[in-house]
Structure 1
Amino acid sequence: MPVASSFLGGFALSAALIVAIGAQNAFVLRQGLRREHVGPIVLFCALADIALMAAGVAGLGAALDGLPGLAAALTLGGAAFLGWYGLGALRRALRPAAALAAEGGGTAMPLGAALARTAGFTLLNPHVYLDTVLLVGAVGAAQPPGGQPAFIAGAGLASALWFAALGYGARLLAPVFARPAAWRVLDAVIGATMLALAAGLAARGLG
């Protein structure tokens, strides 16, 4: 059945692209470990993915491909955002008090701030436009008649399941992160990852 084939194709492609260590996934994992605004963050990530995929299938990917200036601006903006967050994570890793706060003993991040950071990790990441809009959009646009909605539904379901598993499944690691030292290690890894991604984006944007 063409519709079922399109659905499964969209699911498989989205799952293959989204299951990777990146800024957005690291932030969702960290918020899941803190059990802080997990539902709104997961919902935002899933809906943003679905909207970007649908836009790509509708032709946004082809339009963005002809705007190299916009791609460069997004790349440099993403580098600045990731660099800022990465330095913050490293500062937390170097300060025991910050690690204790991250464990849940400090002030919780307001919902607005959490969603703003989620939006930054989602929309300031040029890879989301390369993968979600351009690649997924191109494959989705090539689906047989009637298959595009099913393709988007499959791709969106894979995204929603992944973010839900990442955000809500993180609590299974709670015993490990009952110690401040574990939070310090996590923040150190996140900080180093963010800075490495920022450096790569900056080199690409300035190259």
Structure 2
Amino acid sequence: MPISASLLTVGAGLLTGLSLIVAIGAQNAFVLRQGVLRRHVAPVVAVCATSDALLIVAGVAGVGTLLALAPTAIEVLRWGGVAFLTAYGVLALRRAARPGALVGEGDGVRALGHGAVRTVATALALTWLNPHVYLDTVLMLGSIAQQEGPGLRWWFAGGAVAASVLWFSALGYGASRAHRLLARPATWRVLETVVGVVMLVIAVRLALSPVA
């Protein structure tokens, strides 16, 4: 197999993966928030990137075909996601509205954070309770990879996995480096408001629109 064909396929996987994960969503909003807080950034990035990698591999391996035959499972995930996103969104808006939810830290501000276990659990829930991740990452990306043929589909998967690792690392650590700019009290309230609104909008869209 020509190396040029493999590299082109990796590039296609990279661009396709980025197109699916860069859009603002619940997972990205959470990674951004943790980056600004500079709390548990490494485990959050690792959880999100590893979860995406597992889903991508599952899709390329053909699990998407089985997923298409399990609408009931997707429906259960749909309503579980609605409940979780609604609760998280309401809590974020409460933090934004209550000055007592912010604690001074030098010349910046940080929101009251959670322990590592709870933070990782939240990252897992935001990833695995989102039914769209199965439809987009497993079914759609898996279907595109199959079109590359048996010899190139895993190169495509490698590119998509690389996109996930690069994006979440850039988002989490980029926000961490911009801490002084982003973590002023007024800016943080705006960020928490945006996070809360994003979560609630996604919850409403999940509730009103069938995902299958």
TM-score range normalised by the length of the shorter chain: over 0.9
Higher helix share: 1
Displacement, 1:171? 2.4
Aligned to 1:144: 149
For residues 160 and 90 of structure 2, the distance between their equivalents in structure 1, rounded to whole angstroms, comes to 33
Aligned to 1:37: 40
Count matched residues.
Answer: 206
Given candidates 161, 164, 167, the residue that maps to 2:166 is 161
Say whether residues 1:170 and 2:175 are aligned partners.
yes
Partner secondary structure for residue 16 of structure 1: helix
For residues 126 and 150 of structure 2, the distance between their equivalents in structure 1, rounded to whole angstroms, comes to 34
Q: Percent identity?
A: 46
Partner secondary structure for residue 104 of structure 1: strand
Q: 1:59-98, aligned counterparts within 5 Å?
A: 59-98=62-101
Given candidates 102, 117, 122, the residue that maps to 2:122 is 117
- Name structure 1 gaps, 5 residues minimum: none
Distance 1:99 1:20, change over 3 A: same
Displacement, 1:22? 0.3
For residues 33 and 200 of structure 1, the distance between their equivalents in structure 2, rounded to whole angstroms, comes to 27
- Name structure 2 gaps, 5 residues minimum: none
For residues 40 and 175 of structure 1, the distance between their equivalents in structure 2, rounded to whole angstroms, comes to 22
Q: Which runs of 4+ in 1 moved over 4 A?
A: none
Amino acid paired to 2:9:
S
Aligned-residue Cα RMSD (Å) equals: 1.9
Displacement, 1:66? 1.2
Say whether residues 1:49 and 2:61 are aligned partners.
no
TM-score using structure 1 length: 0.93
Asked whether the equivalents of residues 52 and 133 of structure 1 are also in contact (C-alpha less than 8 Å), the reply is yes
Say whether residues 1:104 and 2:110 are aligned partners.
yes
